[in-house]
Amino acid sequence: MKYAFFPGCVSKGGCPELYQSIMQVYPKLGIELEEMMTASCTGAGVLQEKDQKLGDVLNARTFALAEQRGLPIMTICSTCQGVMSQANLRLKSDPKYLAEVNHILAEERLTYRGTTNIRHFVWILLEDVGEQAIQQAVTRPLTGLRAAPFYGCYLQRPTEALGFDEQPSRAQSLETVIRLLGAEVVDFPGKSQCCGLPILTINERNSLMMVANHTSDAKNHGADVMVTPCPLCHLNLDGMQSKAANQQSTTINLPVLHLPQLLGLAMGLDSKSLGLHRNLVSPGSVLEKVGVEF
């Protein structure tokens, strides 16, 4: 189980605790990683607003680099995954377009043959690592912890690019993992909705209202913690939560963990090595519940 690892800018910038925690967790799952040091940003859908073809060229370059190494790509960000999945679908379903893009890549001595498989860590957990191996890695089941999943738009839509037809379990992947870790799933309507981050600078009020709605909704449904496979969602749901609560004149205080952080807790890792002190909403209550020192 070896992958070309695409960490994404946010895990190396605004959410270093994500990078830190995935590094702690993956070796214990039989995964091998080779980090793609020369890959560019996916464009996050923002570059694509200006120039979709440019975005596709940059992503095709990344896919070609992985193809050369003969490795599938692993992402740890819903946005990276979604943007790459969409680009890959466009390239693979239109040979003429792929040829055009390859023509541009030729100067870099690269060609993309369309064979690279790109998958998010949470899918790899279920499809490659497998339920049994996950259960074996769990040394500290999170019994009694009530966790609300939050996917991020790009890991839920569009279902065609994300291969939900071929792999229907992807639609419920977070819930499945939460259960395998011994925690209880808190279902709430916002789990596959938008965290609001893309419009934070454009319409702050609307963006923060989404943060407040989703986090308080999860809390009202009984969640002790929210867990997300997307660092961009985390930036808004964790980073902006107190500002969002202020805007709505309320308090929320719902800890939001990155998926590898939750996994790490169940695998017996300590809070420091998972970077939990870096989460802005203090995860103290969660740690207390699972019996880990903060």
Partner 1 sequence: MQATFRIRRFNPESESLASYDQDYVLETEPSDTVLDGLIKIREAIDESLTLRCSCRGSICGSCGMRINGQATLACKTKVISMISDGGTLHIEPMKNMPVIKDLVTDMEGFWEKIRKVQPWLQPKGPEPKAEYVASLESMDHLTGVMGCIMCGVCVSDCTVLEVDRNFLGPAALAKAYRFVADPRDGHAKTRLFALNTPGGMWGCTRCMECVEVCPKGVGAMDRIMALRAKGMEQHVPSTCGSRHAEVFADIIRQKGVLDEPMLAVRTFGLGNIPQLLSFIPTMIQAFKRGKVPKIWIFHRAIPGIRSIQRLYKKVRELN
Cβ pair 221, 149 in contact under 8 A: no
Give yes or no for residue 20 binding ligand SF4 (CB under 6 A). Answer: no
Give yes or no for residue 48 binding partner 1 (CB under 8 A). Answer: yes
**Nearest one of 253, 160, 150 to 194, comparing CA atoms:** 150
Count residues contacting ligand SF4 (CB under 6 A)? 10
Decide whether 108 or 127 has the Cβ nearer to partner 1. Answer: 108
Pick what 77 binds: partner 1, ligand SF4, none; C-beta below 5 to 8 Å, kind-dependent.
Answer: ligand SF4
Candidates 29, 31, 66, 77: give the one binding ligand SF4 (CB under 6 A). 77
List Cβ neighbours of 115 (8 Å cut-off, separation of 6 or more).
67
Candidates 33, 57, 142, 265: give the one binding partner 1 (CB under 8 A). 57
Cβ pair 227, 256 in contact under 8 A: yes
C-alpha–C-alpha distance, residues 226 and 149, integer Å: 6
Give yes or no for residue 269 binding ligand SF4 (CB under 6 A). Answer: no
> From the CB of 64, what's the least distance to ligand SF4, in Å?
17
DSSP 141-192: --TT-EEEE---GGGTS-TTTTTTTT-GGGGGHHHHHHHHTTPEE---GGGG
Identify each DSSP E strand in the chain by its residue range: 2-6, 32-35, 73-75, 118-120, 146-149, 184-185, 225-228, 256-258
Cβ pair 75, 6 in contact under 8 A: yes
Give yes or no for residue 43 binding partner 1 (CB under 8 A). Answer: yes
Candidates 33, 44, 101, 197: give the one binding ligand SF4 (CB under 6 A). 44
Q: Per CB under 8 A, which region of 8-16, 113-121, 218-226, 250-258 contacts partner 1?
A: 8-16
Decide whether 170 or 234 has the Cβ nearer to ligand SF4. Answer: 234
The contact set with partner 1 (CB under 8 A) reads 9-10, 12-17, 37-41, 43-54, 57-58, 61, 104-105, 107-108, 153-154, 157-159, 189, 193-194, 196-199, 201-207, 209-210, 213, 239-240, 242-243, 277-280
